Every structure is written in C-alpha cells, then in structure tokens.
Chain A
Amino acid sequence: MASTFDTVAGIISETCDIPRESITPESHAINDLGIDSLDFLDVAFAIDKAFGIKMPLEQWTSEVNEGKISSDNYFVLKGLCANIDALVAAKAA
C-alpha cells in the first residue's frame, strides 16, 4: 500500500506535470513546486477523492492569512500529509 506521501506526490506530479523525482517531503507546494491556486484545486479534488476526505482548505488558508500558523504546516508536503493522515484517522474514528 502506497504511503500518504507517495500518493500525494503522484497526484501532484500527474496533475501539475511536475517530475515525480523533484517532489520531496520537504517541498513547499507553492513556493518550491510553483503550484498555482487553480492547479491546487485539482490537487485538492484528487486528494479528497483518493482519501475520502474533505480537506478544510478555507480554514487552513484563513489560519495562514491571519498569521496563526505557518503555511509550511499545510503546504510543505510532509505537513500536508500529516494533516491528511489526521483527517483520515478522524473519519475512521
């Protein structure tokens, strides 16, 4: 079974036409990989479908914009994957 990171990296690679080998757990989706907001909608849709969740993107964006949390927490892939795992676990609970 693929790890969360492998699945997310595969989605980003396919959706955004980014070489898979350039995507690492430390990659920032926006700052490093250059994913724009429209492509990120595609990524979010694919992640939501793949994991059966609804990522709270609006809440995350709001928290970042209000300075409550670093964007790294949600947009660096290891952080994103940790949040996905938490959402999957919460759904299963």
Chain B
Amino acid sequence: MMILPEFDLLRPRSVDEAVAAARRTSGAFDYLGGGTDLLCNYKWGINANPTVISLRHIGELNERQGGSLGGGLTLAELEADEDFLHDFPAFRRTLARLASPLIRQTGTLAGNILVDTRCIWLNQSAFARRALGNCLKADGPECRVVKGSTDRCYANYSGDMAPVFMVYGAEIRLAGPDGERTLPLTEFFSLDGRTRNVKAPEEIVVALDLPGDARTLRASYQKFRVREAWDFPELAVAASARMDGDRIEELSLVASAVASIPLWMDEIAAKYVGRTLDDETIDAVAGDMFKASRPVRATLLPPGYRKHMVRVMTTRALREIRGDAVPVPAAAM
C-alpha cells in the first residue's frame, strides 16, 4: 500500500474562502481538484505539502455557460456534454483518449491544464530517486535529463486539454488575492518544468473561456502514447484552421509533450496563412514542426523517435482538418 503523508485537509465553500485559506499557509499548500495527479505525487513523496485545500465543494467552479467551462468540471462531465462536443468536436477524441474512464470520473478540467510535469527521473519512489540521485524538481541540485542545468527543469508536459484549448483560442480565468484576471491560454505557460505556468500559487483556475467564433474552426488533436488503453502523451499535436474553401484563412499549431509546456507554434502557423491546404503545404508544415521540436529524454520513448512522430502527427492533424480519413488507434485493448 502506498501511504499518503500527513496533511491538513481544508474544504472551503467558495473561491474567496479558498484563496484566504491558501494565504494563511505561507505557501506550503496544494489545491486539490480530482486528486488523480496530486495524490499520486504525494504517494511517491514528490513535493508534498502540509496543507491540502480541496476545491471540490466550490459550486462556482462547476458551472458551464456556453463556451465558458468551470475549472472544477470533471472530464467525464465534459465527455457527456453533447452540446459542448457538438460545438467543439476535437474534444470528443481528446477526452476519449485522456487517461482512463475511471480517472476522468474525478479528474477535473483545471487539474488537467495544471497537471504536473512528468519525467522518468522524477516519477519514481523516494527510494529510487535517492538511489538515482535526486533531480532538480525534487530536492536535487541539477536536472538529470539535461545535466548541468541548475535553473531549468526539463520534465515533460503531460496534459491533453490545454493544447486543444489553445488552438481554439481559449482564455484562462484565474482568481487570486488581487481578484480575477484573464489571459490567453497561449500566454499562461512558462518554460520550466517546476513552475510550468504564470499562475501565482494562491490563484485558482476558475474557468476556461472559448471564444464564440471558435465554433467555426476545424480542429484536430493527435496524441501518441505507448498504451492505447490509457496513457500520458509521449507527444501530441493540436491544430486548428479556419478555411476559405481549400485556402487557409487562419491556422494555429501546438506541439505538446515535447517540452515542459505545450509549445505554441505561432511563427510556423503564420507562414502558411493564405496557402492552399494541399499535400505540399501539409508536408511543409509537418517539416517545420519537426525542426522546431526538440524533445529530451524525459519520457519512455527515445527523443529522436518522438521528434519524428511530431511530423507524423502534424500530418494527421492537418489531413483530418482537410477532411481526410486519418488512422484511428485501435480500441482500448
């Protein structure tokens, strides 16, 4: 049995109450959503804190109004929301291939956006980590993946929802001690496997807001993982486009799980606006995505293979947007 460390559990009933509780802890706390990520890390002894503040009892985090989705909604609730899936169809396959059905029952939207970065050196027992030599993210002096790195952790981003929200142009709404603020999701992440994003520790993800015109985008999420029953992404590509006939009017691209954050490839996307979405363009975009992705050895598969698969997944995403039939992974088992 994996033993959870001792902690105090606070169960506030409002966002304000939760933020106030967080401020009283002097930073030594974690917010608890579904717990499917945090409690695993606690059981592994990774960066546990003495206070856990549950957000499960805050009704305002569970609301959905049109394209505004509360951070506390479970992934299973989103998966069952046919209106949402009709408006934003790329989420249908994203959700179906996100973790397992059991984890989706309690895992939350905000929890998946904020999911902790993973690394073969980090997600081990405390005993194994000590034996291997602790890493920068957990009590060690330097990153074990990129040796000599003492100021940046290279653990891998493993969420599935953020890349899709990014290509749909979503904003993230945060509530903290200074009130609420909203920023584009593309500006939310920050390239370090420890901090991962610009959210202040006390801030809570209240909602993800999808713009009204996102409904007219064609989008695709292509995830590559080791086990098809359920697994974290070894890499993923999200893409969206607004088409004028076969001409690209607007294009968004994200390469995910190839770095500590989902990478917003705006410069590559901008190059291809106005082009026809033909095989030549698709090959060129996939080639650029391949060149721009530099995975490191933080996950199970070799970086060179994952880099190659960025090209494959980009091709599949753009072909799906074009309306081609693309390979669908085999059933769960």
A binds B: no
